[in-house]
Structure 1
Amino acid sequence: MQIDFHHATTYVAARLAGFEPEDAQIVAYAAQYVDDATSSGTVHFDNKAMYARISTAHRMIDKRNAETLANHLVWVPFHFLPGNGGLPAGENPDGRFIEKIICTPDSPIARDMVRQTIVEKDKPYGLHRLGVAMHVYADTWAHQGFAGLLHPVNEVEKAEELGNSGGFKKKLSSVLNNFLDDAIPPLGHGRALVFPDMPFLKWRYRNYHGAEIVRDNTDLFCEAANALCMAMQRFIAGDADADVPGLGDRDRQTIEDLFRTTTKEDGDKRHDAWLKAIKSGKFSFGPEIVEYAGKGKGSWKEAALGTNFDLPVHAYREEFLTSNWKRFHDAVLAHRFHVIHDLLPSYGICAA
């Protein structure tokens, strides 16, 4: 998934779940920032204070993608949550251990991840952690069938668009199948390029078992949007088992229509279309202005550290401790620790 879903759709789902606009903005920003927080290391301040942050994403062309530990600590907990074959703790899917690592939509592991986010909702970074969890949860639909490590399990053959699902360029299939197959490492859905991320696309491919997989991304993304809304309704209720309604029929149809008819390949252009739909009052919560700046002017990072990010030492301000940027990084540390050290081991998975 790209910024149109992780930011705009998440914002819509948060508002429809019952969050006020300011809190929905935090959740949606954090959800998208998981894709944009590619830097790690220690921030030094002029009063000798320090803050260590981790990255939650690597660009696809990044030497760290060839490092096994880096993959386990980034792609596994934040983008390709292992699914254990959709089975509960104590049970194992057929086949080798790698089958436990493959991402599975709405798996018991994913639900347990959301549950822990609700249990710890009162932390200062509770909303930010919810946004992180919503990114990971949504990706279990888009990234299903792939794993967040270098492995033949991520092989893709004969990927192609089905019908005219939105004007997606068929030449991309040709490039993928004829030229790039051996050039792209089998990490995540790298060998499927952006096929899993296009909300309007119907497509098929053959997986590493040789089985034909057919996907309607719109149906999958609608399921994800409804699941996010329900998860956030439970977060507001403070009850991970609450009986909640999810999306209303009218809003769900509006979401589906936007997925199907917004057919630009560029995620930023689809994001713009979503922001215009929100501003024009397409949804039942009425017209609202929503913005996102992942870096530079207006970003969380600028608000926390100032305009010059490259300084070796930053001026310390007391408000840094309560900044959205710090709370986001606090949240991703808490999320990663729980997933790697508590959640996955309870399913018999040792990831790092």
Structure 2
Amino acid sequence: MATCHSYFQIETFNYEAMVNNTIAFHFVPGFKGENFTKRLRCMEESPIIMDLIKEVMLEDDLIKLGMVLHVYVDTFSHQGFNGMVSKVNAIKNCEAYNIKSLGLFDKTLKILKQLSQNNYEIYFDKIMPAYGHAQALDYPDLPYLEWAYEYDYSDEFNGLYKKIVIDNKDRYQRAFRGVEKLLKNYLLYHPHYRDSAIQFDSIEPLMKSLIYEGHDALRIKNWQNLLIEQRLLDRKDKDLLTYEDDRWLKDAFANYDRKVFENRVVENVRLADNFECSKWYGFYTAAKWYKKRFLEICNKYQLFLPI
């Protein structure tokens, strides 16, 4: 039950994977535009995600809530792109103004760009698919970043390009305040999740950490320190302060092995004794529910995505 995949694995370049994973969980359509691919463009607080939010508010299921909130925030950061391989996502002259850290791939692109702008655009277009925000690299996912790109705004993709400058700080702060409002509403429906021992009146300190300018390691450390300073966590809460992407898998499968479980298909697994109560199984059932409801709500808005 996949919810995401790599832009660079050829087996994921198929319609079913794009609809069920990339579009559904990361680029919820906004229904605006003159053609199908433009109607698939992600849009901030689109009708689909807001309908899903209304449903999840009534369910006593924190994993479902977390899943839908992730998708909700992506409607802010991924807006303007869609989850298909599409001309909508074919951008040019993408540049960041205040990036704090570059990966090896980004550094290689930067060197190529410095050597020759013309060659850069030619080679970049050949190696980077117009899939999701791949041609924008990870720029949409850096909360502090200011960046820009040019996109074809014509209905028929006639090569009429317009430059757009994006301030991620603004987008992320709007998303953060939206999440705050949704969580407060969720606690009204499910007050048993409220921790009366925690006195927390303002999200402003969290907002500052959200848009903190620094490379990934510094940002993580800044968040950890803030959560302790605000007494939301304690230094003893190592499991909560340190992220492990396979923690739920370790608890759910008796024969878990990271190298084996990184494969797309894993055979001969042994379930842990408490498998049905495990958080991984909760995630699996939540993803199954989400995919079903996503397609049904798309149909409600006359956006038909056959699979």
Q: Distance in 2 between matches of 1:292 and 1:132?
A: 17
Alignment of 1:51-62 (within 5 A): 54-62=1-9
Secondary structure at 2:292 match in 1: helix
Give the SS at the match of 1:211: strand
In terms of Rg, which structure is larger?
2
> What are the superposed Cα offsets for residues 2-56 of structure 1, whole Å, 9 maximum, x if unpaired?
xxxxxxxxxxxxxxxxxxxxxxxxxxxxxxxxxxxxxxxxxxxxxxxxxxxx111
User: What is the percent sequence identity of the aligned residues?
Assistant: 24
Match of 2:194 in 1: none
User: CA offset at residue 286 of structure 1?
Assistant: 6.3
One-letter amino acid of the structure 1 residue matched with residue 206 of structure 2: I
TM-score (normalised: structure 1): 0.69
Match of 1:135 in 2: 70
2:91 pairs with one of 144, 150, 156:
156
Aligned to 1:345: 299
Aligned partners of 1:205 and 1:213 also within 8 Å = yes
Name the structure 1 match of 2:162: 211
Change (3 A) 1:285 1:314: closer
> Does the 8 A contact of 2:23 with 2:83 survive in 1?
yes
Number of aligned residues: 268
For residues 201 and 268 of structure 2, the distance between their equivalents in structure 1, rounded to whole angstroms, comes to: 52
* Kept after mapping to 1: 8 A contact 2:249/2:256: no
Give how far 1:336 is off. Answer: 0.7
Q: CA offsets, 1:328-349, max 9 Å, x none?
A: 1100100111001x11111111
In the TM superposition, what is the alpha-carbon distance from 1:115 to its structure 2 partner?
Answer: 0.9
With the length of structure 2 as denominator, give the TM-score of the two structures.
0.79
- Write the distance in 1 (CA, Å) between the matches of 2:222 and 2:69: 21
Question: Which stretch of structure 1 is more off in the superposition, 228-237 or 331-340?
Answer: 228-237
99-108 vs 283-292, which moves further: 283-292
Query: Does the 8 A contact of 1:103 with 1:140 survive in 2?
Result: yes
Unaligned runs of 5+ in 2: 154-160, 191-199, 261-265
* Alignment of structure 1 residues 1-352 onto 2, 5 Å: 54-85=1-32, 93=33, 95-119=34-58, 121-122=59-60, 126-162=61-97, 165-167=98-100, 175=112, 178=120, 179-209=123-153, 210-238=161-189, 250-252=202-204, 254-264=205-215, 266=216, 270-279=219-228, 281=229, 283=230, 285=232, 287=234, 289=237, 290=240, 291-295=242-246, 299-309=247-257, 310=260, 312-340=267-295, 342-351=296-305, 352=307
Deviations 1:278-308 (A, max 9, x none): 12x2x4746563232112xxx1111010253
Regions of 4+ moved over 4 Å: 168-177, 284-288
Structure 1 residue 312, shift from structure 2 partner? 3.8
| Residues in 1 aligned to 2:74 and 2:19: alpha-carbon distance in whole angstroms | 16
Distance apart, 1:316 and its partner CA: 4.1
Secondary structure of the structure 2 residue equivalent to 1:146:
coil
Is the CA contact (8 Å cut-off) linking 1:64 and 1:71 kept in structure 2?
no
State the SS of the aligned residue for 1:226.
helix
1:202-231 deviation digits (Å, cap 9, x = unpaired):
111111321211111011111111111211
CA deviation vs aligned residue, 1:64-89 (integer Å, no higher than 9, x gap):
3321111111001111111113xxxx
Q: Match of 1:349, SS? A: coil
Instruction: Give the letter for the 2:124 counterpart.
Output: L
**How many angstroms does 1:315 deviate by?**
3.7
Unaligned segments of structure 1, at least 5 residues: 1-53, 86-92, 240-247
Deviation at 1:325, TM superposition (A): 0.6
Cα distance between partner residues in 2 of 1:191 and 1:278 = 34
Partner of 1:245: none
Aligned partner of residue 147 in structure 2, secondary structure: strand
Which residue identity lines up with residue 80 of structure 1 in the other structure? F
Contact kept in structure 2, 1:199 and 1:217, CA below 8 Å:
yes
On the 8 A contact 2:209/2:223 being kept in 1, the answer is: yes
What amino acid does structure 2 have at the position aligned with 1:301?
L
